[in-house]
C-alpha cells in the first residue's frame, strides 16, 4: 500500500467513524419528531372527544325537553279524556 492508498483508506475510515456519531443525533431528532407528532395527535383526539361530549350533552338536553313536552301533552290529553268520560 503506497502513501496515496493509505491516505484514501485513512479518509474513508475517518468518514465511517464519524457516521455512527451522527446516527444517535438523527435518531434523537427522529424520536423527537415522532413524539411531537404523537403529542399533536393526542391533542387533536382530546379536542375531538371534548367536542363529542358537548354534542352528546346537547342531544341529551334536547331529548329531555322532548320527553317533557310529550309528557305534558299526554297528560293534558289524558286529563281531557277523563273529564269527557266522567261527564257522560
Instruction: Note down pLDDT in tens along the chain; length 88 residues.
Output: 566 666 665 666 666 655 555 566 666 777 788 888 999 999 999 999 999 999 999 999 999 999 999 999 887 777 666 655 555 5
Exposed e or buried b for every residue in 67-87, given b needs 16+ CB within 10 A?
eeeeeeeeeeeeeeeeeeeee
- The whole-number pLDDT of residue 58 equals 98
Give the three cell numbers for residue 60.
341529551
- The whole-number pLDDT of residue 28 equals 72
- The whole-number pLDDT of residue 46 equals 97
Amino acid at each position: 500500500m503506497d502513501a496515496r492508498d493509505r491516505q484514501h483508506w485513512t479518509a474513508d475510515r475517518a468518514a465511517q467513524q464519524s457516521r455512527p456519531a451522527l446516527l444517535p443525533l438523527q435518531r434523537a431528532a427522529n424520536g423527537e419528531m415522532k413524539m411531537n407528532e404523537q403529542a399533536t395527535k393526542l391533542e387533536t383526539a382530546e379536542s375531538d372527544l371534548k367536542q363529542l361530549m358537548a354534542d352528546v350533552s346537547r342531544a341529551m338536553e334536547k331529548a329531555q325537553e322532548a320527553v317533557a313536552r310529550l309528557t305534558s301533552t299526554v297528560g293534558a290529553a289524558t286529563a281531557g279524556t277523563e273529564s269527557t268520560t266522567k261527564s257522560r
